[in-house]
C-alpha cells in the first residue's frame, strides 16, 4: 500500500493517535492516569452506543435523528420515576425500552411509510419527547437509589478481595480477549481465502492484529490500576459487536448501504426502501433508550435537561469517523474511532480546565474538517 493510500485509509486513526499524544504531553501525562483512561469510555458510552444507530440513519442518504437526546431523557426519566415508586429494576428497564421501541415504531412509520422528511419528523420528536420527560419528572430531579439497578450498569468485574488499585483480573481478561481476537481474525482470513475471496497481505493482517492486541492489553493494564473492568464497557462491546456484524456481514446490513448509494436502483432490485428507513429509525430509538439507562446509572440522578445536545455528539462521531455526508458509506469501527477522538478532546480539555466554549469550538472545527475531507477526497460536489 502506497503512503498516500495508507494516509487516506487511516486518516482518523492517525488523527486519534496525534490528538491523544498531544493531550498526554499537554496534561503532563494526567490523561493516561488509570482513572482517566477508565472514565474515557464510561463518559462517552452514550456516544459509542448511539453512534451505531445514527450510522444506519446516515447510511440511508445522510439523514440524521435529532430526537435521540430527548428519547434518552424520556427513557431515563421513566426508569427513575418507576424506581422511585418502588418498581423492580427489571420492570423499570423493560418499560423504558418498551417506550423507546414505540417511539422508534412511530418515527420509523412516519419517515418510511408516510414519507415525512427525517429532519422535520425527528425535530418535532426532539421537542415532544423532552416535554413528556419533564412531565414525568414533574420538573424536578429524581435520584436513583436502587442498588440492584446501579450494580447492573456501574459495577466492576473483578475477583473477590482484589484491591481497587491492583485488579489483576482486568489484565488476565484483557490477554484472553486479545488471544481470542487474534484467533478470530486469522480464522476469518483463512475461511475467506478458502472460499476464493481476495484477502489482504498476511503481513498487513499480522501488523494490524498486533497493534489491536497491544491496545487491548494496554487498556486492560490501565484498568488494572483502577477498580478493574467496568460492566458498562461490556454493554458497549455487546452493542458495537452486534451492529458491527450487522453492517459488515449480513444482507440486512447491506440494505442500508444500498439505499444510501442509489435508492431508485435499490427499489428496482426488489428491496423496499420503506422498510430500510423504518428499521434505521426504530433501532436508533431503541439504542437511545438503552443509552438513557446507562447515563441515568452513571450520573445517579435524572433531570429534564439530561441528553441535551447528545444527538450532536452522535452525529459528529459518525462524520468524523468516516461516514459520508451523502450516505452509502461508513463503518462501525470508523465511528468508534470518531467517538473516542471526541472523547479524548473533551477529556483533555476538561483536565486542562478549559471552559466549555472552547470544547464547542474545537469539536465544530474537527467536524467541519472531517466533512470537508470526505467531500474533497472522494470528489463529491453534491448528491449526484
pLDDT > 90? residue 78: yes
**Span 274-290, average pLDDT:** 96
pLDDT > 80? residue 50: yes
pLDDT value, residue 362:
81
Show Cβ contacts of residue 305 under 8 Å, excluding neighbours closer than 6 positions: 73
How does pLDDT run across 321-349, given as a tens digit for each residue?
Answer: 888 888 888 899 999 999 999 899 889 88
Measured CA to CA, the distance from residue 50 to residue 286 in angstroms comes to 9
pLDDT value, residue 384:
42
Spell out the alpha helix ranges (H) of 85-201: 89-112, 118-137, 147-154, 168-194
Residue with cell 442498588: 147
Secondary structure of residue 114 in the 3-state scheme: coil
How does pLDDT run across 123-136, given as a tens digit for each residue?
Answer: 999 999 999 999 99
**Span 179-197, average pLDDT:** 85
Cell of 178: 486479545
**What is the residue-wise DSSP string for 191-206?**
HHHHTT-----HHHHH
Cα torsion 341, 302, 122, 111 to 10°: value is: 100
- 254: burial class by Cβ within 10 Å (0-12, 13-18, 19+)? middle
Please report how many Cα atoms fall inside a 13 Å half-sphere around the Cα of residue 51, on the Cβ side. 33
The closest alpha carbon to 328, from 378, 257, 253, belongs to 257
Under a CB-based contact definition with an 8 Å cutoff, are residues 62 and 37 in contact? no
Radius of gyration, CA atoms only, the chain: 21
- Return the H-helix or E-strand segment holding 238: helix 231-249
Quick one: DSSP state of residue 324?
-
Per-residue pLDDT band at 377 (split at 50, 70, 90): low
21, 46, 105, 111, 276 from 280: Cα distances, Å = 36, 18, 10, 10, 6
**Span 56-67, average pLDDT:** 94
**Span 185-196, average pLDDT:** 83
Question: What share of the chain has pLDDT > 90, as a percent?
Answer: 52
Under a CB-based contact definition with an 8 Å cutoff, are residues 36 and 351 in contact? yes
Under a CB-based contact definition with an 8 Å cutoff, are residues 19 and 341 in contact? yes
The closest alpha carbon to 220, from 237, 245, 243, 198, belongs to 237
pLDDT value, residue 383:
46
Measured CA to CA, the distance from residue 257 to residue 212 in angstroms comes to 27
Amino acid at each position: 500500500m502506497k503512503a498516500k493510500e495508507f494516509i487516506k485509509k487511516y486518516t482518523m486513526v492517525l488523527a486519534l493517535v496525534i490528538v491523544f499524544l498531544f493531550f498526554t504531553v499537554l496534561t503532563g501525562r494526567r490523561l493516561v492516569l488509570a482513572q482517566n483512561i477508565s472514565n474515557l469510555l464510561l463518559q462517552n458510552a452514550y456516544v459509542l452506543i448511539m453512534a451505531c444507530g445514527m450510522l444506519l440513519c446516515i447510511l440511508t442518504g445522510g439523514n440524521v435523528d435529532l430526537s435521540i437526546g430527548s428519547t434518552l431523557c424520556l427513557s431515563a426519566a421513566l426508569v427513575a420515576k418507576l424506581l422511585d415508586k418502588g418498581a423492580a429494576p427489571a420492570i423499570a428497564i423493560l418499560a423504558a425500552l418498551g417506550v423507546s421501541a414505540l417511539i422508534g415504531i412511530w418515527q420509523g412509520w412516519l419517515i418510511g411509510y408516510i414519507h415525512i422528511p427525517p429532519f422535520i419528523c425527528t425535530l418535532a420528536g426532539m421537542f415532544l419527547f423532552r416535554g413528556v420527560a419533564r412531565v414525568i419528572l414533574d420538573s424536578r430531579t429524581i435520584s436513583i437509589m436502587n442498588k440492584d439497578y446501579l450494580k447492573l450498569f456501574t459495577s466492576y468485574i473483578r475477583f473477590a478481595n482484589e484491591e481497587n488499585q491492583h485488579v489483576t483480573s482486568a489484565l488476565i481478561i484483557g490477554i484472553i480477549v486479545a488471544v481470542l481476537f487474534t484467533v478470530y481474525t486469522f480464522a476469518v482470513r483463512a475461511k475467506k481465502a478458502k472460499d476464493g475471496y481476495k484477502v489482504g497481505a498476511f503481513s498487513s493482517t499480522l501488523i494490524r492484529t498486533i497493534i489491536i492486541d497491544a491496545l487491548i492489553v494496554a487498556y486492560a493494564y490501565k484498568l488494572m490500576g483502577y477498580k478493574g473492568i467496568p460492566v458498562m464497557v461490556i454493554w458497549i462491546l455487546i452493542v458495537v459487536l452486534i451492529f458491527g456484524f450487522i453492517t459488515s456481514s449480513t444482507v440486512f446490513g447491506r440494505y442500508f448501504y444500498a439505499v444510501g448509494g442509489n435508492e431508485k436502483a435499490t427499489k428496482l432490485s426488489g428491496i423496499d426502501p420503506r422498510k430500510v428507513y423504518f428499521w434505521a429509525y426504530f433501532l436508533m430509538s431503541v439504542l437511545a433508550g438503552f443509552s438513557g439507562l446507562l447515563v441515568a446509572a452513571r450520573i445517579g440522578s435524572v433531570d429534564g435537561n439530561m441528553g441535551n445536545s447528545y444527538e450532536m455528539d452522535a452525529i459528529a462521531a459518525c462524520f468524523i469517523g468516516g461516514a459520508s455526508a451523502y450516505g452509502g458509506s461508513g463503518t462501525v469501527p470508523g465511528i468508534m474511532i470518531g467517538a473516542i477522538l471526541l472523547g479524548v478532546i473533551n477529556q483533555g480539555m476538561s483536565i486542562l480546565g478549559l471552559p466549555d466554549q472552547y470544547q464547542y469550538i474545537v469539536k465544530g472545527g474537527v467536524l467541519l474538517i472531517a466533512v470537508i475531507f470526505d467531500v474533497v477526497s472522494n470528489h463529491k460536489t453534491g448528491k449526484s
